[in-house]
């Protein structure tokens, strides 16, 4: 059997080789040779895949098998052809078809065993094309994917593949949510001896353009992150602030805060956030963030991101001082108050400008902000304990997920597609792509 195949393969190779050399007797460049060989290799791959699948098909199929739907007896009918879309192109194959007399449904044991998705993308093709879809707009992904693999897919197909991974993230999150409410599971977690010593959480939101009639089309995509870091906080505000976060893990959704809280808790349980010796949350001043943190993690240390806080000064200075030097001097003074945790002085400065003819709007905003958040701005203490005080990490999540992918070239999204694409991109950034793909390998099943 194997030697027959070998012979057949040999002949096919000879045929392909002579075609190759006849066609390109005098190639113009190495590129032309490379392209021709790549095309040939795809054909070789298709031959091997077809043969491999044919080998999986028994010459004498069982007369009956158990029906996958009702457990009754399904009878062999005939060999039915199907088409697979794979990373090496389209491949036709045949497999035994069984029909059940009881529930009147039919199935293909081979498809189930290997996860063959007839007429649809294979799991491998879906995973790889979806990966390009998380990087750049679908139309561009389609061009890039074809250039790299010689497999042509429509932008719609790439979008579907990307969003399929997003759906997989949603399924996983649902499992996590169930676990996070399961008392037995939580108790097992508590018995674990290895607990995180110092874990960081952070949350933020960015606007995504959603197709909507008669309502605001800009929806908040809320993003959260869990991470650890061994980096020391900077010693002065003008130092280099690169946080080297480790084990970064993002989650995101377009949901009201309360429902997003379920996801915060569920992903937190996966990181044992509730069991960490020290749990530190970084965020901007947004109320929903601190409400969620206080609700789920009442013992967490809450820190307002230094950069968010420091951003409040420039608008006041710009409105209050026509002179550039004066402006810089004032900003530098108030920034150092903030850095040293002298919140009374910061608040006092803001208050001073609350009745200023030009600066009052910015000053009032800042006054409220610093008054409400002063207990989250004890920066000298945080620095002393070695806590990070700038959430460059989550800022960059917004940039990486929203700005770089969801906001490109004025895209307007369907809500569901935006959420799934964002989740797929987060999964890719988290390094979870491979494990998610594996979850989908045997999925076609009872289709
Ligand atoms: Zn049945």
Ion ligand 1 residue ranges (Cβ < 5 Å) = 67, 69-70, 72, 100, 102-103
Q: Which residues on neighbouring strands pair with residue 278, listed in sequence order?
A: 198
Task: Please tell me the predicted confidence (pLDDT) of residue 391.
Answer: 63
**Distance from the CA of 59 to the center of ligand 1, in angstroms?**
24
Distance from Cα 118 to the centre of ligand 1, integer Å: 21
Q: How far is the CA of 116 from the centre of ligand 1 (A)?
A: 21
Average pLDDT, the chain: 91
Expressed in angstroms and rounded, the spacing between residue 223 Cα and the centre of ligand 1 is 45
Helices (H) and strands (E) in the chain, counts: 18, 9
Does the pLDDT of residue 411 top 90, yes or no? no
Backbone angles phi, psi at 25, to 5 degrees: -60, -40
Minimum mean pLDDT range among 290-299, 320-329, 386-395, 409-418: 386-395
Taking residues 176-185, report their average pLDDT.
95
Q: What is the pLDDT of residue 446?
A: 42
- Interval 92-105: pLDDT, tens: 999 999 999 999 99
Q: How far is ligand 1, taken at its centre, from the CA of residue 71, in Å?
A: 6
CA of 216 to the centre of ligand 1 (A): 49
How far apart CA 17 and CA 1 sit, in angstroms, is: 24
Taking every pair of Cα atoms in the chain, the longest distance, rounded to a whole number of angstroms, is 92
Helix axes 415-430, 433-440, angle to 10 degrees: 120
pTM score, whole prediction: 0.89
CA 106 – ligand 1 centroid, Å: 8
Tell me, in angstroms, the distance from the centre of ligand 1 to residue 76's CA.
Answer: 13
Binning the chain into helix, strand and coil, the percentages to the nearest 5 are 55, 15, 30
The answer on pLDDT for 229 being more than 90 is no
Residue 228's SS3 state is strand
User: 444 - beta bridge partners?
Assistant: none
Cβ contacts of 438 within 8 Å, gap of 6 or more: none
Gap between the Cα atoms of 443 and 94, Å rounded: 20
Q: Is 209 exposed, middle or buried (0-12, 13-18, 19+ CB in 10 A)?
A: middle
Cα 446 to middle of ligand 1, angstroms: 12
- Name the percent of the chain lying above pLDDT 70: 97
Give the pLDDT score at 447.
42
Supply 222's token pair: 């809320």
Asked if the model's pLDDT at residue 227 lies above 80, the reply is yes
Are 391 and 234 a contacting pair, CB within 8 Å?
no
Q: Is residue 196 classed exposed, middle or buried when 0-12, 13-18 and 19+ CB atoms within 10 A define those classes?
A: middle
Query: Helix or strand or coil: residue 120?
Result: coil
84 CA distance to ligand 1 middle (Å)? 26
Burial state string for 91-107 with b = 16 or more CB within 10 A and e = fewer than 16: bebebbbbebeeeeebb
d(CA 285, CA 304): 6
> What order of strands is seen across the sheet that includes strand 278-283?
245-253, 218-229, 198-209, 278-283, 301-304
d(CA 224, CA 199): 13
Of the listed ranges 1-5, 38-42, 108-112, 418-422, the least confidently predicted one is: 1-5
pLDDT value for 181: 95
Alpha carbon of 55 to ligand 1 centroid (Å): 27
Q: In this structure, how many other beta carbons lie within 10 angstroms of the beta carbon of residue 7?
A: 10
3-state secondary structure of 282: strand
pLDDT at 240 over 70: no
Comparing 184-193, 255-264, 429-438, which segment has the lowest mean pLDDT? Answer: 184-193
So what's the pLDDT on residue 235? Answer: 77
Residue 394 pLDDT grade (very low, low, confident, very high; cuts 50, 70, 90) = low
pLDDT of the residue at 402: 80
Which tokens belong to 248? 């970064």
The pLDDT value given to residue 145: 96
- DSSP states along 317-365: HHHH-SSHHHHHHHHHHHHHHHHTT-HHHHHHHHHHTTT-TTTHHHHHH
Q: Among 52-61, 241-250, 383-392, 406-415, whose mean pLDDT is lowest?
A: 241-250
> Residue 134, Cα to own-chain centre: how many angstroms?
8
Q: How far apart are CA 258 and CA 288, in angstroms?
A: 9
């Amino acid at each position: 059997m194997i030697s027959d195949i070998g012979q057949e393969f040999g002949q096919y190779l000879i045929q392909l080789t002579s075609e190759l050399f006849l066609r390109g007797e005098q190639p113009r460049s190495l590129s032309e040779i490379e392209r021709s060989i790549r095309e040939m290799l795809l054909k070789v791959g298709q031959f091997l895949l077809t043969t491999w699948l044919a080998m999986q098909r028994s010459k004498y199929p069982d007369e009956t098998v158990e029906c996958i739907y009702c457990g009754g007896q399904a009878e062999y009918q005939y060999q039915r052809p199907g088409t697979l879309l794979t990373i090496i192109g389209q491949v036709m194959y045949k497999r035994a078809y069984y029909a059940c007399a009881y529930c009147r449904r039919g199935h293909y044991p081979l498809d189930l065993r290997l996860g063959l998705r007839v007429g649809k993308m294979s799991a491998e093709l879906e995973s790889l094309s979806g990966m390009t879809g998380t990087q750049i707009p679908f139309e561009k992904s389609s061009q890039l994917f074809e250039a790299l693999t010689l497999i042509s897919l429509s932008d719609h197909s790439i979008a579907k593949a990307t969003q399929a991974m997003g759906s997989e993230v949603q399924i996983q999150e649902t499992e996590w949510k169930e676990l996070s409410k399961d008392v037995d599971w939580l108790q097992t977690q508590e018995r674990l001896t290895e607990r995180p010593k110092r874990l960081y959480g952070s949350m933020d939101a960015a606007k995504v353009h959603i197709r909507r009639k008669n309502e605001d089309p800009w929806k908040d995509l809320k993003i959260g992150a869990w991470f650890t870091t061994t980096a020391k906080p900077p010693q002065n505000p003008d130092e280099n602030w690169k946080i080297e976060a480790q084990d970064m893990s993002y989650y995101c959704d377009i949901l009201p805060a309360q429902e997003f809280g379920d996801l915060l808790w569920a992903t937190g349980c996966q990181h044992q956030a509730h069991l960490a010796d020290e749990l530190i949350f970084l965020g901007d001043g947004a109320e929903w963030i601190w409400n969620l943190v206080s609700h789920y993690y009442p013992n967490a240390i809450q820190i307002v991101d230094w950069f968010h806080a420091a951003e409040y000064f420039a608008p006041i200075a710009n409105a209050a001082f026509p002179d550039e030097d004066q402006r810089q001097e004032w900003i530098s003074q108030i920034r150092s108050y903030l850095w040293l945790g002298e919140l009374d002085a910061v608040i006092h400065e803001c208050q001073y400008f609350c009745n200023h003819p030009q600066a009052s709007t910015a000053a009032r905003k800042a006054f409220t902000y610093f008054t409400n958040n002063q207990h989250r701005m004890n920066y000298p203490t945080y620095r002393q304990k070695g806590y990070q005080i700038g959430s460059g990490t989550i800022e960059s999540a917004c940039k990486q997920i929203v700005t770089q992918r969801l906001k490109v070239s004025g895209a307007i999204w369907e809500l569901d597609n935006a959420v799934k694409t964002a989740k797929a991109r987060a999964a890719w950034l988290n390094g979870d792509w491979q494990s998610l793909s594996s979850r989908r390998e045997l999925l076609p099943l009872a289709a």
